[in-house]
Chain A
Amino acid sequence: MSIAAHLPALQVVLPLISAPLAVLLRRRDLAFWMVTAAAWAAFATAIQLWLQVGASGTISYHIGSWPPPWGIEYRVDRLSSFVLLLVSGMAAVMLPYARTSIEREIPEESHYLFYAMFGLCLAGLLGITITGDAFNIFVFLEISSLATYVLIALGRDRRALTAAYQYLIMGSIGATFIVIGIGFLYLTTGTLNLADMAGRLRGVESSRPVLAALAFLTVGISLKLALFPLHQWLPNAYTYAPSPVTAFLAATATKVSVYVLIRFYFSVFGESLVYEHLPLPQIMLGLSLLAMFGASFIAIFQDNLKRLFAYSSVGQIGYISLGLSFDSVHGLTASIVHLFNHGIAKGAIFLLIGGIAVGIATPGAVAPAPTFDRLAGLAKRMPLTCFGIVLGGLSLIGVPGTAGFISKWYLILAALEQGQFWLVGAILLSSLLAVAYVWRFVEVAYFRAPPAGHVARKEAPLAMLIPAWLLIAATIWFGLDTSVTVDTALDAARQLMGKAQ
């Protein structure tokens, strides 16, 4: 068999192996090249898989040639190939950035551990996305989560430890709920294969264990994706983690959780159960609106730039869950596109903030927190960084020409399809909140006089600027050319809703 047939396995195995190898090698440069090579290979694999799925439909790969439902199945359809693309692409771009960035953020002796954990986290996230097996999802979820806790705790700020601990507790509760949910489903259906499970659930949908499973899974996954009001672990974790970790988590971890939610709702439980018999859409609509307005509003009053954009993430996740609550092709498309677009934009912004932390640090010292009082007149010193953040911010606002606009557009289409003009108003008004928090940065960086004795001009190192600007360019690109994002998302949404063309 050629290597092409084993791409789904390689997708996960490569990063998974790179992690222990990085530990064994111990030299930080070797570890870096090991994990980076694995991430690039994973990205290449993801592109290849995405093309294959686009051309010839869903790929089913049987691990060890055991046929499902007995063996573990890796299943790549339009949706999962799209998320694989996002996750591996982000890792491929961010690892080179991390190499320069962590020199100032993580003690040198732990660098090889950082790369190992990064590799594990990547492998876990890719595994969650690609697997077609319920218990496998849990296993990979734990792999990625455990790696994440370590990554957050690597931050130099001592509060990073508390943040990591809190995330550990909350993440474990979430994972427990998920495994309880999966357990209920296993008891009811006797299978762990998602596709098989979906078939066997027909007929017993409204039995108590299935409903309990739905509740446990919903709450557990909501916790992982930081759906309001279960988001409280997120701001601290994002604020105190090292910058490449924040960027990677913001771009991928919550997005993969959204993927899991979509997978369970649409591929396992089926939309008729989730949407027609239960008040779930209404609850989700309410929580989404709370996130869109509440979290964005809180974001406006933050003093720490990282924390500001962390709250903004909670708000943006509100748009994603809002799309889910519509139960329509356009709504689902909006969610999937926004998952992708927001991942890119927010990843770019956090990368650039990492550059700011380097820029405002006195040489040799630990990078200080990017609070607004340190950012006055920053645009004079770091014009490229600041302009990049503004462009990313425009995408968060949803300005036409940026990727954020495309997702908002579909969200609004979905709202209009249901004749809910007030929701259109709500979506647009919440965009104004985004204007407000982005404006805070603009005002401080561009219009406030720089402090006395500031350095004339000191951009972040190129190794950090280039990856960040790659993502910013992608944000603009996907705002203008929607053939990749929207077409894939529409296809995926149709596939999930059983309305494939």
Chain B
Amino acid sequence: MSSAAASSLILHPALVLIAGALLLPFLRGTARNVAVLSAPTLALVALWLLPEGRLWQLQWLDYPLAPLAVDKLSRLFATIFALMAIVGGLFALRQQSRLEIPAAFLYAGSAIGVTLAGDLVTVFLFWEFMAVGSTLVIWSAGTPGAWAASRRYVAIHLAGGVILFAGITGQILATGDAGFHAMRADSIATWLILIGFLINTGAPPISAWLPDAYPEASWSGTVFLSAFTTKTAVYVLLRGFPGTEILVWIGIFMIFYGIVYALLENDMRRILAYSIVNQVGFMVVGIGIGTEMALNGAAAHAFAHIIYKALLLMSAGAVLAATGRRKCSELGGLFHSMPLTTICGTIGALAISSFPLTSGFVSKSMVTQAAADGHLQAVWLFLAAASAGVFLHAGIKFPWFVFFQKDSGLRPPDPPASMRWAMILFAFLCIALGVWPDPLYALLPYTIDYAPYTAAHVITQLQLLLFSGLAFFVMLDYLKRTPTITLDVDWLWRIAGPVAAQSFRDALRITREGLNEQLLSGRQAMADSIARHRRPDGLLLRSWPTGGMALWVMVMLLAYLALYYLR
């Protein structure tokens, strides 16, 4: 294609998708279904027609902005986001809520907007749109739980937005440059930006928003939610703060946080939500290490993770849509009647466990390798141990309890075609990327020479997996008798003892409930006092008598006169 033709085809993919989102509410029936699939497809096409470089420039106040800037990293993330919007839209085609898909497309479009933003102001703009879109997605589930969760969720994200905005303003003022480049966390402004970004990754100490909110969305809503917020945060960290050492330790915390709580959890989608924190932890560690290999690994892992986590949540969503149940202890034996869902869920589980020949293996091993290359023994050890943990909580626990285990007697059929094909598509990608990783590697920001299938890699990973698989089989008997989830942990997970884990879990629960309660009681008390004040004769709202107003005027005048006199 000639460059002239290329430049005439410059469409902002994010705006394409957002325009689709705004159009959707007006469509019905087939036209709507076509639009649901074609809007993100068009965005994907528009994205790949873009050449690299700062394509859109405009002057805003005194700063040059670039709302559309493309390089390899942003194209990688925008691609997977658009892909996710296509498959998520396909999966959600039969969703009854008319709000959910438009909201999800606004959300996905904004995520693409962040990845294609060449300046901090645009980043912030789309960042806030993302918060709005994702809140609407949660909210469109229409349950009271979802309503409450969406309010907690939006409160945290608005607060995060405020922090981010303060940081961005400070940074622009300090440097006189609005561009979005790599920064160092060495001033108040950059720290605020880093904190604002980290809040969206689900970093401690407020990781709880993620497993709190995501499982409350509808069966299809959680699929969208799993993909965009955290991975956009990974993207901005990749671009803004590569090699910031503290990220290594934050990431490790997130990895173990996710594993411990996922093992303790009974709600199948909450297990998967915790495992998002865990997987994002791997990416954050990679960004913290900061070598080219590690950054590539983080980016590749984000790409692969979106696919297999969406696949897992789609299989969980199919189960939820068919049975209406979400607790592991109430499910089981579904492989009899839902073979396809079982197969797809299992493929997703294998991929998240980084089984060789799946996408998780070819991406996560890069991060581990980078830790080894950088002689970060402690980090490497943590990552290796965590790999085993991932296999336990997501690789075996989720499919085992949902699809196998005891027979719950439920015999729901496999989901309708639109949902089946969405799952098949992503299951295929999980395997395909694992078998032919080269196309993915070609998309990565740095050119690398990395072979995932060396004997050492495969054997190490298989050893880890086999050992933890063995552990699972040893306690299988035990599990069958008493499916108490807490007991699994102290047997399996010696690092965090049961007491610590339980008390930590309690603390989390208490914080979560406390936050709820405090908000509620605080609101109640405030409402009471407001009610007192808002009666017609209440202090705040009554109309002041004219004399009272005049008195204030005199008070002000006297105050000024006295101050000037005394100065």
Contact = CB atoms under 8 A, between A and B. Distances in A.
Given A283-B563, A400-B125, A432-B158, A232 B557 contact: no
Contacts of B559: 283
Given A173-B550, A278-B563, A482-B61, A429 B173 contact: no
A421 B166 contact: yes
A173 B553 contact: yes
A170 B550 contact: yes
Contact of A413 (B166, B173, B533, B541): B173
Nearest to A223: B553
A59 interface: no
A435 B135 CA distance: 15
B560 interface: yes
Contacts of A139: none
11 contacts: A162-B543, A166-B543, A208-B565, A211-B565, A222-B556, A229-B552, A400-B128, A412-B166, A421-B170, A432-B158, A435-B158
Interface in B503-546: 530, 533-534, 540-541, 543-544, 546
Interface string B28-53: 00000000000000000000000000
B432 interface: no
B534 A301 contact: yes
Given A219-B560, A301-B530, A435-B158, 10 more contacts: A162-B543, A165-B546, A170-B546, A236-B543, A278-B567, A298-B540, A409-B61, A409-B169, A425-B162, A482-B60
Contacts of A421: 166, 170, 188
Output the residue of B61, B124, B128 with the most chain A CB within 10 A. B61
B166 A424 contact: yes
A428 B165 contact: yes
A340 interface: no
Nearest to B562: A215
A453 interface: no
Contacts of A409: 61, 169
Contacts of B121: 400
A412 B169 CA distance: 7
Contacts of A277: 567
Contacts of B128: 399-400
Interface string A475-501: 000000010001000000000000000
A455 interface: no
A449 B124 CA distance: 34
A424 to B, nearest CB: 5
B557 A219 contact: yes
Nearest to A427: B166
A421 B541 CA distance: 33
A177 interface: yes
Contacts of B61: 406, 409, 482, 486
Contacts of B560: 214-215, 218-219, 283
A470 interface: no
Contacts of A428: 162, 165-166
Chain A's interface size range is 35 or more
Contact of B169 (A214, A219, A424, A431): A424
A413 B556 CA distance: 30
Contacts of A283: 559-560, 563
Output the residue of A173, A215, A222 with the most chain B CB within 10 A. A215
Contacts of B530: 301
A202 B540 CA distance: 44
Interface in A416-439: 416-417, 421, 424-425, 428-429, 431-432, 435
Contacts of B166: 412, 421, 424-425, 428
Given A399-B128, A435-B158, A417 B173 contact: yes
B553 to A, nearest CB: 6
Contacts of A413: 169, 173
Interface of B is mostly: helix
A232 B170 contact: no
B170 A279 contact: no
A53 interface: no
A174 B556 CA distance: 12
A218 B563 CA distance: 13
A230 B556 contact: yes
Contacts of B165: 428
B496 interface: no
A228 to B, nearest CB: 10
B549 A177 contact: no
Contacts of B550: 169-170, 173
B455 to A, nearest CB: 53
Contacts of A399: 128
Contact of A219 (B125, B546, B556): B556
A334 B25 CA distance: 39
A264 interface: no
Nearest to A168: B546
Contact of B541 (A177, A219, A298, A412): A298
B175 to A, nearest CB: 12
A425 B167 CA distance: 10
Contacts of B553: 170, 173-174, 177, 219, 223, 230
A432 B161 CA distance: 11
Given A399-B128, A424-B170, A278 B158 contact: no
Output the residue of B158, B166, B188, B548 with the most chain A CB within 10 A. B166
Interface in B88-129: 121, 124-125, 128
B371 to A, nearest CB: 36
A265 interface: no
A416 B549 contact: no
B561 interface: yes
Nearest to B166: A424
Interface string A153-187: 00000000010011001100110010000000000
Nearest to A239: B543
Contacts of B124: 400
B140 to A, nearest CB: 11
B540 A279 contact: no
Given A211-B564, A215-B561, A429-B162, A230 B552 contact: yes
Given A400-B121, A401-B125, A413-B169, A278 B552 contact: no
Given A214-B564, A409-B169, A413-B173, A233 B557 contact: no
Contacts of A212: 561, 564
B173 A166 contact: no
A302 B541 CA distance: 8
Contacts of B60: 482
A302 B534 CA distance: 8
Interface in A202-233: 208, 211-212, 214-216, 218-219, 222-223, 229-230, 232-233
A278 B546 contact: no
Top-3 shortest CB links A-B: A215-B560, A211-B564, A428-B162
Contact of A170 (B549, B557, B561, B567): B549
Output the residue of B61, B173, B544, B549 with the most chain A CB within 10 A. B549
Interface string A394-418: 0000011100001001001100110
Contacts of B173: 413, 416-417
Nearest to A227: B556
A478 B549 CA distance: 36
